[in-house]
A = this chain, B = another copy of it.
Amino acid sequence: MKLDDIDKRILRALQRDGRMANNDLAREVGLTPSPCLRRVKLLEEAGVIDRYVAMLNPAKIGKGQTFFTRIWLKAQDEDTIEHFAAEVAKLPEVLECYLMLGDCDAMVRVVAANIDAYRRFQSEHLSRIKGVQNVKTDVPSQTIKQTSEMPL
């Protein structure tokens, strides 16, 4: 899909505020409400806009700390990986999970209240997944930047 300048302005605005009123959005991008809304619907149908979500403040719901954990599996065959992926999908504390090229086999991003809660999670859930050989956790001490806004 081809995105012109107005489309990009719409996407930038909706990435900042996904609940912005269409009238305000229209004014910001230099259109009247109707063609503006039409473009938004087209962007949704084309899948450029995947979904709208509410972002919660992790600290306010007792999930203030993020942890990155690199994982090494005992083997890299399909069964081992499938099983690992299925188990990880069940854990709501795991927000992201990637299979990796190179050094480690997988990487997960976990949220928890603090490092003690995380250690418990790691030993009781992550390490117990069949096929997991070793894990190494990287702990952020400070967040410099955290956004979901794609560059356009």
Contacts and interface: CB of A to CB of B under 8 A. Distances in A.
B50 A52 contact: no
Max chain B Cβ within 10 angstroms of own Cβ: one of A47, A144, A149 = A144
Copies of this chain in its oligomeric complex: 2
Interface of A: 1, 3, 11, 14-19, 46-58, 60-61, 63, 66, 68, 70, 85, 88-89, 92-104, 106-107, 111, 138-152
19 contacts: A3-B61, A11-B61, A18-B54, A48-B57, A48-B60, A50-B56, A50-B57, A51-B54, A53-B55, A55-B148, A63-B150, A70-B138, A89-B145, A95-B145, A95-B146, A95-B149, A99-B142, A99-B144, A101-B140
